[in-house]
């Protein structure tokens, strides 16, 4: 499985350069690449009206947000966990919902370890769904308000660890 982190935030890109991960990273949006799954750095209510989630809602339409919210109502997804939800998109077949923001915590992610957990669980969820290439932005680095460099290093560690673990399964 391949993973691509793509983001427009210069600080995210600089942190990725400094980390030098074994997976791909680019300046841009994950949707610009050949991916079949993308991470929604959602909030725990599934409201997709801010940050990268707003771009995902524009791409996939309001129906997918409705399905995400219904899924969360049926079985909540805590911050740092992830769930694959099938889309109707021909190319990007999976939305990996990985809340980085808790509605109960006034919209804050809390600690940079959230980025590790969300990244790790997203890779595992995408792998279990059968995805070949997962795209994501910086997790917790926008609306989540985390310190970008620390969050990106945690996120990269999470991706690297998950990629190692799925190859050992």
Q: What is the CATH number of the domain that holds 137?
A: 3.40.220.10
DSSP state for residue 146 in the 8-state scheme? -
Tell me the C-alpha distance between 57 and 61, whole Å.
5
Please choose, from the candidates 163, 117, 115, the residue with its C-alpha nearest in 3D space to the C-alpha of residue 142.
115
**pTM, rounded to two decimals:** 0.94
- Split into its structural domains, the chain has a count of 1
Burial of 20 (C-beta count, 10 Å sphere; 0-12/13-18/19+): exposed
**Contact present, 55 and 21 (Cβ < 8 Å):** no
Which pLDDT score is estimated for 109?
A: 59
Distance CA(21)–CA(35), nearest Å, equals 18
**Phi first, then psi: what are they for 25, rounded to 5°?**
-145, 150
- Token couple for 120: 């790790």
Write down the pLDDT at residue 105.
55
List the pLDDT tens digit at each of the 169 positions of the chain.
999 999 999 999 999 999 999 999 999 999 999 999 999 998 999 999 988 999 999 999 999 999 999 999 999 999 999 999 999 999 999 999 999 988 765 544 578 899 999 999 999 999 999 999 999 999 999 877 889 999 999 999 999 999 999 988 6
Contact 3, 123 (CB under 8 A): yes
The domain of 140 spans 2-168
pLDDT confidence of residue 101: 84
């Amino acid at each position: 499985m391949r993973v691509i982190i793509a983001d427009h935030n210069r600080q995210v890109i600089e942190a990725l350069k400094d980390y030098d991960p074994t997976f791909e990273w680019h300046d841009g949006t994950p949707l610009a690449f050949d991916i079949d799954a993308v991470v929604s750095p959602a909030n725990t209510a599934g409201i997709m009206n801010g940050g990268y989630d707003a771009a995902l809602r524009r791409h996939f339409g309001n129906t997918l947000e409705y399905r995400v919210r219904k899924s969360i109502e049926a079985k909540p997804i805590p911050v740092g966990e992830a769930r694959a939800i099938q889309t109707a998109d021909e190319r990007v077949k999976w939305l990996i919902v990985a809340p980085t923001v808790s509605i109960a915590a006034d919209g804050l992610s809390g600690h940079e370890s959230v980025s590790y957990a969300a990244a790790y669980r997203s890779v595992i969820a995408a792998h279990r769904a059968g995805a070949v290439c997962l795209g994501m932005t910086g997790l917790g680095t926008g609306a989540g308000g985390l310190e970008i460099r620390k969050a990106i290093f945690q996120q990269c560690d999470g991706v690297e660890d998950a990629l190692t673990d799925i190859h050992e399964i």
